Amino acid sequence: MENSGLVGTGSTDDGDGSYVYASTIEANTLNPTPVTALCFDPFEELLWCGSCTGRIVSYYAPSFERYTAVCATSGDIRAMEAIDFMIDVFFMSFRNLLVFSSQSMQNLNSMRVLPGTSSLFMGGDSTKLIQLDLEKQKEIRVNANLIRFNGSQLFTADTEGKITLRALGTMEAIRVIPAHSGVITDFDVSGNKLITSGCSIRLGVPHGDPYVKCEPGWPRINDVF
């Protein structure tokens, strides 16, 4: 990881929201390449680093000594996810060399495994969110481009400004919340609190809302940036 450092999340905060610098890891001193993806592996106590050349390197905690390295693909690594029996790198998974791809997997840049299930969710520059059952290797497409999980419930957002609460097993819609009239740029869920940011359509043109919007019952928060 050339000229980049790891931060100690357990360090004392100075009160200004900053982290304390801990150390630097040299990913490849002979041929340094930009790091494009990071993933902590809680099952093996490893830090996985992916580069723009398709190379994946693991480092063993807490000293972060180099542990393994593999050339996964000729392109860049955009996201990685660790589960108890493999490391997922979009279509490629290591240790058991599971490979899955489809025509709908285009321009992906993020993914997340749903805790306690075999469901891997993938998304990117598309209006469809892809759900892949890792055990059955079956693909399900969902009309969504963002996904959040609050520990017990699954939420998705689409380009039409709606937040949908979905059943964990089937992805069926339980409740639809019309948050914005245009695209939702981001949202988050904490307990029973939902907060969103997005766009409104005025005269047929999307305009960024200068505030974040909360679930009915909570006031709007003016933009202070």
User: What's the confidence (pLDDT) of residue 6?
Assistant: 38
pLDDT of residue 208: 81
- Among 94, 101, 117, smallest CA distance to 166 is for 117
**Alpha-carbon gap, residue 24 to 85, rounded angstroms:** 28
User: From CA 159, how far away is CA 167, in angstroms rounded?
Assistant: 20
CA distance 209 to 201: 10
* Best CA proximity match to 201, nearest among 192, 209, 213: 209
Between CA 28 and CA 35 the distance in angstroms is: 10
> How far is Cα 113 from Cα 122, in angstroms, rounded to an integer?
9
Contact by Cβ (8 Å): 123, 129? yes
For Cα atoms 69, 73, 79, give the angle at the middle one, nearest 5 degrees. Answer: 80
* DSSP 8-state assignment for residue 114: P
DSSP annotation string for 45-57: TEEEEEETTSEEE
Q: What is the pLDDT along the chain (225 residues), one digit of tens a residue?
A: 433 433 334 444 455 556 677 667 766 667 778 888 888 887 788 888 888 888 888 888 777 888 888 887 777 887 787 766 555 554 343 433 455 666 666 666 677 777 777 777 777 766 677 777 777 777 776 777 788 887 778 888 888 889 998 887 677 888 898 888 888 888 888 777 888 888 888 888 888 887 776 665 444 444 443
User: Which among 98, 84, 82, 183 has a CA at the least distance from the CA of 134?
Assistant: 98
How many angstroms separate the first and last alpha carbons of the chain?
31
How long, in residues, is the chain? 225
CA–CA distance, 109 with 37 (Å, rounded to integer):
10
- The whole-number pLDDT of residue 214 equals 67
